[in-house]
Amino acid sequence: MTTAALKNTRLVVALLAAGAIGGAGVSAFNAVHTASYAAATPAIAAAAPIQAVAPPDFSQITERYGPAVVNISVTGTTKVSNDSAFAQGDDDEGTQGDPFFEFFRRFQQGQGRPGGPQQEMPTRGQGSGFIVSADGIILTNAHVVRGAKEVTVKLTDRREFRAKVLGADPKTDVAVLKIDAANLPVVALGKTSELKVGEWVLAIGSPFGFENTVTAGVVSAKGRSLPDDSSVPFIQTDVAINPGNSGGPLFNARGEVVGINSQIYSRSGGYQGVSFAIPIDVAGRIKNQIVATGKVEHARLGVAVQEVNQAFADSFKLDKPEGALVSSVEKGGPADKAGLQSGDVIRKVNGQPIVSSGDLPAVLGLAAPGDSARLEIWRQGAARELTARLGSADQKVAQADDPKTSAAQGKLGLALRPLRPDEQQEAGVESGLLVQQASGPAALAGVQAGDVLVSVNGTPVRNIEQVRAMVAKSGKSVALLIQRGDSKIFVPLNLG
């Protein structure tokens, strides 16, 4: 949706699929620590004493639920160039998931050795999973079984079964397998909504093929959105994830599965202390759809959103920099039909607060097409309520940009002019001003000549005089909606 020039430069780090939780050593508070803290800060300690908490006994959880965790072996094929065949290797996704394989393949091609005729090469991979019903229903990651021709499930009692992939959903990275067995051990499922940051968590999986490896740590955060267009509100933990642990269960201290271990955040390609799990609430909804129909449908609101920072909060007169700022609305989509506009800030959905923009797809990810969503929004300094009937993400809607946005001059450092009819038609907007030159605050924010100013502080712009008047009445910052090509983005400008 956005372009690179309108973004702050940031370090891109690899999101690598793997999935396990590993031993980050954590010590509990004890009575000595509490007493010394209270002596140093008696007022704080008296108001909120900290109780000593012993770590849970993970051996009981492992003994009871370990037999329900399985090892998954996958065989398949992938197409590679003849001169890339040397790079074959094993990990939990085969060579397709091996960052070193991909690096050397691109390096070869960059040296003037483009891939020759492609041929099919065998791939092997390993992952983890867990049994959720005694008749053989198993949950794992979709990337573990992607491209698989044969899937084998191995139990802790060493029995092996050929598994059928009932369905896989790449959007949430959840897959459902079925083996022909009965009276199998099963895990207990918990509720991610009841999970707290700082809680102890435990994982069992098969890192590097070491079956039934137990690792532990704590919940670092909830509701994390990742830069991969995912609608999953990930659980972040501080425990190690390694190849082969993908698809394994994340237990809370009560022995309930609260997530499926899925990804790591890394600059090196290895575990660096930040790992992510798919909430079991999301996985359970996907599993129920696959078991019932063999496919998955996702709800769609039909908006593009971005973060609300302090500059936007000041510009839109919000009390806090919270919510999801709507940068564009899909023409004819559910949001458009409900009356949602570019420049609105979505603050709640069905009563659930939207603190960051990533909270919105996470909330909608638990809804189904056809559900009603009650939206509490902020528009031009006032709170409003709208109700949208969610559509299906599979439905194709003709894309058209929402024609409401702005431009500015003077303190903004922008030289503007009205759009010619052909420019207006090409941009697909009803109103707006063409940026002829950007300097000062606008240039620092990334605005460029050729951009179209669509709105100021959420109000569509029609002429330069209107922009001057709005900027004159603004405080220390303004929010400009800029269109570049087919993309729109709100840009905060500090007026000093």
Specify the pLDDT at position 116.
52
Checking if the pLDDT of 401 tops 50, the result is no
pLDDT tens digits for range 418-436? 887 777 778 888 888 888 7
Specify the pLDDT at position 277.
94
Share of the chain above pLDDT 70, in %: 75
More confident residue, 402 or 177: 177
Q: How far apart are CA 336 and CA 323, in angstroms?
A: 19
Q: How far apart are CA 456 and CA 295, in angstroms?
A: 43
Domains of the chain: residue spans and CATH: 13-26+56-72+127-296 (2.40.10.120), 300-392 (2.30.42.10), 410-494 (2.30.42.10)
Catalytic positions, please? 143, 173, 246
| Residue at token pair 């590993």 | 22
β-sheet bridge partners, residue 138: 131, 177
pLDDT tens digits for range 227-264? 665 678 899 998 877 888 899 999 999 999 999 999 87
pLDDT tens digits for range 35-91? 444 444 444 445 566 776 677 788 999 999 999 999 999 998 766 655 444 333 333
Radius of gyration of the CA atoms of the chain, in A? 26
pLDDT tens digits for range 442-483? 877 888 888 899 988 888 888 887 888 888 777 778 888 999
Specify the pLDDT at position 2.
40
Burial level of 424, CB count in 10 A (0-12/13-18/19+)?
middle
What's the one-letter identity of residue 458?
A: G
Q: Give, for 419, the enclosing helix (H) or strand (E).
A: none
Beta strands in 390-476 (DSSP E): 391-392, 414-418, 433-438, 452-456, 459-460
What's the one-letter identity of residue 223?
A: G
Helix (H, G, I), strand (E, B) or coil at 406: coil
Backbone angles phi, psi at 297, to 5 degrees: -115, 135
Q: What angle do CA 141, 270, 193 make, to 5 degrees?
A: 45
